[in-house]
Structure 1
Amino acid sequence: MPSIPVLPVIESASMVELDDETYWALADRERRMTDWAFEMRGMLEELCGQAN
């Protein structure tokens, strides 16, 4: 099973310059990608019969 990569940290101060619409779109995108990744990991564990 591939390990979960360490993602870069984005400081909130660097996001201050984003307009509200872009900020919330980015936050929603991040949440959806995270949800998808956990779902795919669960499927992989189910298919491979592995649980970590």
Structure 2
Amino acid sequence: MPSMPALPEINSNHLQCLADDDYWMLQDRERRLTDWAFEMRGMLGELCSSSQP
């Protein structure tokens, strides 16, 4: 299974210019992407382990 890439860190100073609604939308987007990535990784792990002899 491929390893997960290291994601770049975002300094909180860069987010101060966002409106509150935009910030929370970005947070929700990040959470959904993370949840999806972990779900896909779990599925890939199951597929890889079930296809081995």
Decide: shared fold, TM above 0.5: yes
The aligned residue for residue 36 of structure 2 is 36
CA shift, 1:2, in A, is: 1.0
- Report the equivalent of 2:27: 27
Letter in 1 for 2:25: A
Unmatched runs of 5 consecutive residues or more in structure 2? none
The total of aligned residue pairs comes to 50
- Give identity over the alignment, percent: 64
Matched, 1:16 2:26: no
Whole-Å separation in 1 of the counterparts to 2:3 and 2:22: 30
Distance 1:13 1:34 in 2: 22
Name the structure, 1 or 2, with higher relative contact order (CA <8 Å, separation 6+).
2
Query: TM-score under structure 1 normalisation?
Result: 0.91
Q: Following TM superposition, where does structure 1 have runs of at least 4 consecutive aligned residues deviating by more than 4 angstroms?
A: none
Structure 1 residues without counterparts, runs of 5 or longer: none
